[in-house]
Structure 1
């Protein structure tokens, strides 16, 4: 039963961001077709941030009417919406209409909003639901959340999305010239098939949630929690004896040796505030700031370096979550040190993006290896921090996890708001076409 619950929690976690991640990895096939072309990513970024109305509404309702909203029906509604939106997107993604005299991808952008609404709302509903289960099932959930980025990337890799090659092109302007240009290779299957596969992943999340709500252990723990009235919606209050939500008292059935004692830890409001600040900072880096410049930091080293950094960093996320299952570290000093280390790796990636299209060691294999390694280590270290902060806050109360999700979304929003004008308005970063680069050796 424990193994089954681990598996279900993992599959449940994959539904958290699989839809939006699927949009990003499919962009190389969508951009040449849709009328917005390379402005499409900026449109998607704005639409995703508008979808934060979902977690905002859930958080306010929890705050203003504690105990009035149960996660179970909300999760059913949002995941079912995600399945339906993915199915519609598979058939309508290329449909355009004229707005203000110009063609726009109205169907694609509207369905993107609903997918983003599902994924953003998952931050304040999925994790709080896990308070019904034992703390050991939090890490498998984060493994699944990491797989929500890896699985679409692997499907896109099998599809051939974004695979490029350098081709000789003859130009007649100012005389005949033969130049190298980047060309996209044809995909092995269409976006229709890709979005149907993403819909299948969302459906698997819905099915796993259905079984999670019907596990005997889940029903028992839920009844105990409701009987004790564990609806504390403030992350900064609660006696040490109540931090486990009633179901995880020391010596309770199903606890691993030493697990209960590790979870029962009283944190002052100042230390809790530092944990939430850490959550906001880590998510600002991983979900807003650095993803905006990944192509700028990697493409100058070649398409192989770019694809390796994207794929291996996606693998580093679930790997770090798996490590957290077997080697948990709840020390705030350790998590702070890992955050500083991960920020250092991110700073190197940002520096290479600023120096694009001619970064350090561009013509050396060491330069490509270094930027790929920094992306992998950046993702891995900060993913571990996200898991362990979630485990710590799960040990306090249901409300602590609601605020964890809200803080996660707030950090991501601040990261996007910082980077959007730099990338799309002020053109602070310069893109690189590896096939036509002219940088000094």
Structure 2
């Protein structure tokens, strides 16, 4: 029985990790693939700026979920919402494989309407996952949350690793002979002139293959979620009971419940009932002690400073720096841009792993 529970627990850890990889894998994948995409699409090196704006517009998804919880609590089922957004992510990723290079003419200028539209839906999925995946994972025992966050970190690490294996495609200068008309007096003569052109050598595998890989990762995320929804609730209950008391979330309502269940007149209870009541009172006292020691109270000025710091860091990480990355890497060439995009995507999960083992405030 113990072996079965241990095997089941390991399986849930794997499922939680795979489920977490689907949270931001699509957008992280697009960022690390941009060094190859900018050489094909008409927006060129301006493309990261467009993508940054699109990702910010996709925050209408989390806003909608938040408003639903605020004004229509209980109306939106998290499991149904996750099924919908992950299915949208799979469909958008699959369409991206076939249509990412398609362009249309807007105001006599070619635009990557297919890529930008599909990028919006992928951004919508990833942004909304932050407010739907976590509430679902909170139903599981606390230890599985850590595994989920590891998977979320891998959503940037794995595409970055694959992009490094893909390579950026070397560039070389080629001396090309072209016919040139030269006019001398009344005669026009065609001669062959020489011109230096830049040619991009193909990467180890195509952008379509990379986008197909992202689609497969989204499919694995959906399958992991399907299995997580079918794990017996009985096992979660047993697993949760065996957790340490420090993992108990004590709210004021729960504490009042424990206190209200204590007997008002101990003489009217048996010794067994009295023992149960005392045990509950002890648990309430321990839980309250943990709750009070867990949360730190901050002044209004400290809270304002913390929130401003979070806004500043997020605006740099998710807004300003990605949009200017092409221009900051331009003097150093396409290879430098490719390496900075891939390694930058791998740096965040690397830092999270370090923080996991060295939790120091």
Output the TM-score relative to the length of structure 2: 0.69
Q: 1:14–1:147: 8 Å Cα contact kept in structure 2?
A: yes
Q: 1:284 to 1:239 in 2, by over 3 A?
A: farther
Shift of 1:75: 0.8
SS of the residue 1:132 aligns to? coil
In 2, Cα distance between equivalents of 1:304 and 1:35 = 20
* Residues 271-297 of structure 1 deviation map (CA, whole Å, 9 limit, x = unaligned): 777665554444333222333344455
Given candidates 164, 172, 176, the residue that maps to 2:170 is: 164
Counterpart in the other structure of 1:122: 129
**1:140·1:325 contact (CA, 8 Å) conserved in 2?**
no
Do structure 1's residue 145 and structure 2's residue 152 form an aligned pair?
Answer: yes
Q: Unmatched 5+ residue regions in structure 2?
A: 1-7, 179-192, 241-249, 256-279
Distance, in Å, in 2 between the alignment partners of 1:299 and 1:263 is 52
- Whose RCO is larger (CA < 8 A, sep 6+)? 2
Q: 1:109 to 1:218 in 2, by over 3 A?
A: farther
Whether the aligned pair in 1 keeps the contact of 2:140 and 2:236 (CA below 8 Å) is no
Relative to structure 1, the CA distance from residue 298 to residue 241 in structure 2 (aligned partners, 3 Å threshold; closer, same or farther) is: farther
Q: How does 1:247-262 map to 2 (within 5 A)?
A: 261=290
Aligned runs of 1:1-400 on 2, under 5 Å? 1-160=8-167, 162-165=168-171, 167=173, 184-216=200-232, 220=236, 239=252, 261=290, 265-268=294-297, 270=299, 279-297=310-328, 300=331, 306-329=337-360, 334=361
Alpha-carbon distance in 2 for matches of 1:263, 1:159: 51
How far 1:100 sits from its partner (Å)? 2.9
- If you compute each CA radius of gyration, which structure gives the higher value, 1 or 2? 2
Query: Whose strand proportion is higher, 1 or 2?
Result: 2
Deviates more, 1:299-308 or 1:30-39: 299-308
Structure 1: how far apart are the matches of 2:253 and 2:95? 48
2-structure distance, mates of 1:291, 1:105:
19
In structure 2, relative to structure 1, the CA distance for the partners of 1:274 and 1:66 (3 Å cut) is: farther
- Partner of 1:187: helix, strand, or coil? coil
8 Å CA contact 2:52–2:318 kept in 1: the answer is: no
Contact kept? 1:54, 1:121, Cα under 8 Å: yes
Q: 1:85 to 1:96 in 2, by over 3 A?
A: same
1:65-102: CA deviation from partner (whole Å, max 9, x where unpaired): 22332221111110111001111111111222233333
Task: From the superposition, tell whether residues 266 and 239 of structure 1 become closer, same or farther in structure 2 (CA, over 3 Å).
Answer: farther
Q: How many residues align structurally?
A: 298
RMSD: 3.7
Where 1:133 maps in the other structure, the secondary structure is coil
Deviations 1:144-163 (A, max 9, x none): 22221222222222222x34
What do residues 308-362 of structure 1 show as CA deviations (whole Å, max 9, x unaligned)? 5444443332233333444434xxxx2xxxxxxxxxxxxxxxxxxxxxxxxxxxx
Tell me how far apart the structure 2 counterparts of residues 218 and 77 of structure 1 sit (CA, whole Å): 27
Does structure 2 retain, via aligned residues, the 8 Å contact 1:139–1:321?
no
Tell me the TM-score normalized by structure 1: 0.58
CA separation of 1:32 and 1:165: change in aligned 2, threshold 3 A: closer
